Amino acid sequence: MNRLLSVFFFALIVLPASGQQLVDQIADALEPKVIEWRRDFHQHPELSNREFRTAGIVAEHLASLGMEVTTEVAHTGVIGLLKGAHPGPTVALRADMDALPVKERVDLDFKSEVTSLYRGEEVPVMHACGHDTHIAMLMGAAEALAGMREDLHGTVKFIFQPAEEGSPPGEEGGAELMVKEGVMEGVDVVFGLHIGAGTYVGTIEYKPMGMMAAVDDFRIVLKGKQAHGSAPWLGIDPIVTSAQIINNLQTIVSRSLRLTKAAAVVTIGSIHGGVRSNIIPEELEMLGTIRTFDPEMRIQLHKRFRTIVNSTATSNGAIAEIQLPYSAHYPVTYNDPTLTDQMLPTLKRTAGDENVVQIEAVTGAEDFSFFAREAPGLFLFLGGKPLDVPADVKVSHHTPDFYIDESGMKLGVRTLLNLTLDYMDQASMQ
DSSP string, 243-306: HHHHHHHHHIIIIIS-TTT--EEEEEEEEE--SSTTEE-SEEEEEEEEEES-HHHHHHHHHHHH
> In sequence order, which residues have a C-beta less than 8 Å from that of residue 71 and are 6 or more positions away?
55, 59, 77, 78
Q: Across the chain, how many H-helices and E-strands are there? A: 10, 19
pLDDT band at 18 (very low <50, low <70, confident <90, very high): low
pLDDT in tens, 378-417: 999 999 999 999 999 988 999 999 999 999 999 999 999 9
Q: Strand 68-73 to strand 77-83: parallel, antiparallel, or no bridges (unpaired)? A: antiparallel
| Overall average pLDDT of the 280-308 stretch | 98
**Interval 353-377: pLDDT, tens:** 999 999 999 999 999 999 999 999 9
Q: What is the pLDDT of residue 22?
A: 85
Greater confidence (7 vs 356) lies with 356
pLDDT tens track for 43-84: 999 999 999 999 999 999 999 999 999 999 999 999 999 999
Q: What is the pLDDT of residue 311?
A: 98
Q: Mean pLDDT over all residues of the chain?
A: 95
The pLDDT confidence band at residue 430, using thresholds 50, 70 and 90, is confident
Residue 12 pLDDT exceeds 80? no
Give per-residue pLDDT as tens, 309-321.
999 999 999 999 9
Evaluate if residue 17 carries a pLDDT over 70. no
pLDDT at 429: 83
Confidence category of residue 28, pLDDT binned at 50, 70, 90: very high
Give mean pLDDT, residues 204-232.
98
* pLDDT at res. 328: 85
Least confident piece of the model among 18-22, 52-56, 196-200, 419-423: 18-22
pLDDT tens digit sequence for 89-135:
999 999 999 999 999 999 999 999 999 999 899 999 999 999 999 99
Which of 364, 403, 384, 411 minimizes the C-alpha distance to 164?
364
The alpha carbons of the chain give a radius of gyration, in whole angstroms, of 24
* DSSP β-bridge partners for residue 285: 221, 272
Between 296 and 1, where is the model more confident? 296
Please state, in angstroms and rounded to a whole number, the distance separating the CA atoms of residues 144 and 94: 16
Note the pTM of the prediction, 2 decimals. 0.92
Q: Is the pLDDT of residue 329 over 80?
A: yes
Is 60 exceeded by the pLDDT of residue 3? no
Does the structure show a pLDDT above 90 at 4?
A: no
Given this model, what pLDDT does residue 327 score?
85
- Where in the sequence numbering do the catalytic residues fall? 330, 406
The structural domains of the chain, ordered by start, are 3-212+332-429 (3.40.630.10), 214-323 (3.30.70.360)
Q: CA 129: distance to chain centroid?
A: 8
- Is the confidence at residue 350, as pLDDT, over 60? yes
Contact 53, 71 (CB under 8 A): no
Q: Residues of the chain with pLDDT > 70: what percent?
A: 96
